A and B are shown apart, each in its own frame.
Chain A
Amino acid sequence: MKRVKNFLHESRSKIGLVHGFISCIGAAVLSYLTSMVLSMIITGNYSLKIVPSMMLVPILMSIYGIWILFSKTRFIALKKVLFTFVLLVLILSILIKVL
């Protein structure tokens, strides 16, 4: 347990494999979730809902990627991904119930 904790909180000057993977996969998942939320918020026909959200995914992906990359330790990166993930999923589930 302590080793895991150390591993997560250790700050290094180079990006390791774990850090890189968290940012890549995190960015992909978060960007998809964000545009899913967006596609539910936009009103209009299906084309207006889907196409702009589709265009935004790659841009969001790179912005999320940079944001997650900017974290001192692996733990902070993981925290960013998990918190945003939970937040977005909550919004999504509320939207499904409400709309």
Chain B
Amino acid sequence: MTGGSRTLKDAVNEALRHWSSDFETTHYLLGSALGPSPYPDMVRYFQSVIGQEVAEQIEERSLDVEAMIACVGGGSNAIGFFEPFLERSSPRLIGVEAGGRGRQTGEHAARMNGAGELGILQGYKSLFLLDSDGQVQPTHSISAGLDYPGIGPQLAHLGATGRVEFLSASDEQALDALKFFARNEGVLFALESAHAGAAALELAPQLSPDRTLIVNMSGRGEKDLFLTAPAFKGEQWRNFLYQEAQSHE
């Protein structure tokens, strides 16, 4: 991606441009729960396999679930994870947005809890980070998948009704959570999913030990090595890359 702000939003614009000039021979397939109808419904339906499996496992293990937690960029993993539980009143469903460098800095991608405004972009109507004219605001997140100014319309609605609660986690909190789960659980969260992990770490101390939190680890962290390695082990990583480069000369 070389155009615009070089984020997910610009990639979607470019895909839409390509499609609108080649629609006779091209299908537009969208991987997130947003865009024009019926994409949000289709994506929720396909992603709901995650939630169905969770529902089965809750039953099998007779878990007493306090909350289910998922990160929300466009919201595909979250809506699929929540889907079988939307019509129930429990457990709590929690979406975690990218708090970036902190909401007060403006460098984030958290649209719920007051920051987002009603708009129409990329073929759908929902909440977006906009200025007073309706120009789309730049976003920031350490995770590419959450670095997006809009949220899936159904999640925005579920936020308004209160069925889904929204929190945000900063870049730093996501990295801390990633480190915590790698050390203690031996799993490497994608930076996106680590935002959900961060919210779980915040909530867990408030709960009694017999209550359960379910975190959707929607992606694996190997893809983020070039972001996480320099963040955690800057000098060793640089030396390692340098030696690797030399060995290939």
Q: Does A associate with B in a complex?
A: no
- Which residues does B use to contact A, with CB under 8 Å? none
